Amino acid sequence: MTLKDELKTKVEAMADSRGLWIEDIRISESGGGTILILCDKEGGIQFADLQQFSKDIQKSEWFDESFSEHYDLEVSSPGLDFPLRLPRHFVKNRGRLVKIRHTVDTIPSPVRGNIVDATDSMVILQKEGSTSGETLEIPLDAITEAKVKIKW
């Protein structure tokens, strides 16, 4: 088991008990550096959630023994530039403008639109600029990249 796998197993168990999702774990430099844990939860994560989760990890015996001497810990939320990959990412961002690259032959790629809904297998978008409310259904397995776009 790699260092990242060991960390992921331990952190996911702690996250589950707090109702959090681990979105990504990044370890810089194999001999020391920074451990970045990106997490979220249904309804959105708050600063207090991140702060408490960070304290929980730092107080754990396994972290102290294996990581604290060589790594700094950062716990954060994914941010707007984090790619949307899972159904819960799209559900959480309902109503937001996204840009999606995909492999569906009948729909131009990339396409921009507001997320109307998402299921375990599909994202439904209202195409940007559509006056008729035209929606597009894009299978999740056809999406190669999806990101929230900020309206200025």
Helix/strand/coil percentages in the chain, nearest 5: 30, 35, 35
Whether 111 and 70 share a structural domain: no
Residues 137, 123 contacting (CB under 8 angstroms): yes
Q: Which residues, in sequence order, are CB contacts of 65 under 8 Å at separation 6+?
A: none
The three-class DSSP label of residue 34 is: strand
Structure-block tokens of residue 71: 């790594």
Domain count, the chain: 2
What's the pLDDT score for residue 109?
Answer: 94
- Going 87 to 90 to 94 to 99, the CA torsion angle's sign is negative
Residue range of the domain that includes 128? 87-148
Does 71 fall in a domain?
yes
Task: Answer whether residue 82 is part of any domain.
Answer: no
Final residue before a domain boundary, out of 53, 76, 99: 76
Phi, psi (deg, nearest 5) at residue 98: -130, 160
Is 67 within 8 Å of 73 (Cβ atoms)? Answer: yes
Report pLDDT for 6. 84
pLDDT (tens, 9 = 90+) of the chain, 152 residues, equals 777 888 889 999 999 999 999 999 998 876 668 999 999 998 889 999 999 999 999 999 988 887 878 889 999 999 888 999 999 999 999 999 999 999 999 999 999 999 999 999 999 999 988 888 889 999 999 999 999 998 76
Q: Are residues 60 and 113 in the same domain?
A: no
Task: Choose the final residue of a domain: 26, 50, 76.
Answer: 76
The answer to whether position 134 is within a domain reads yes
| Alpha-carbon distances, residue 50 vs 8, 46, 91 (angstroms) | 16, 7, 21
- 102 and 131 belong to one structural domain: yes
What confidence score (pLDDT) does residue 31 get?
63
pLDDT of the residue at 102? 97
- Per-residue pLDDT at 15: 94
Asked if 48 and 100 sit in the same domain, the reply is no
